[in-house]
Structure 1
Amino acid sequence: MSFDSLGLNPDILRAIAEQGYREPTPIQQQAIPAVLEGRDLMASAQTGTGKTAGFTLPLLQHLITHQPHAKGRRPVRALILTPTRELAAQIGENVRDYSKYLNIRSLVVFGGVSINPQMMKLRGGVDVLVATPGRLLDLEHQNAVKLDQIEILVLDEADRMLDMGFIHDIRRVLAKLPSKRQNLLFSATFSDDIKALAEKLLHNPLEIEVARRNTASEQVTQHVHFVDKKRKRELLSQMIGQGNWQQVLVFTRTKHGANHLAEQLNKDGIRSAAIHGNKSQGARTVRWPILNPAISACWWRRILRRVAWILKNCRTWSTMNCRTCRKIMYTVLAVPVARRQPARRCRWSVLTNISCCVISKSC
Structure 2
Amino acid sequence: MSAASQEQTQEGIAPQTVPYHSDPTRVQELRQLLLKSLEKSTPCDAILLSGGVDTSILAEAAFTVYNQNKDNNKDLKRPLTGAVTVLCTDEARDEFYSTQIASRTGLEQKVVKVTLDSVLEELEFCIRTLQTFDPMELRNSIVIARGLSVAKSLGYKTVMTGDGADELFAGYSFLHNMPAERLKAYSDRLTITMRFSGVPLAKALGLELVQPYLDAEVIAFSQQCTRDEKVNYHEHPKDREWQDRLEGRQLHGKFILREAFEEEAFSAWRKKEPIEVGSGTTVLPKMFQESMDPEDLKREQDRILAEEGIKIRDAEHLQYFKVFKKVFGDDLSIYPEKLIKDGRDPCPACGFNLNSPEQTFCVICGQWPARVLPPPEEIARTSNSSFTEAASS
Q: Does TM, normalized by the shorter one, top 0.5?
A: no
Q: Which has the higher contact order (CA 8 A, sep 6+)?
A: 2
| TM, length-normalised to structure 1 | 0.29
Higher helix share goes to which structure? 2
TM-score (norm 2): 0.27
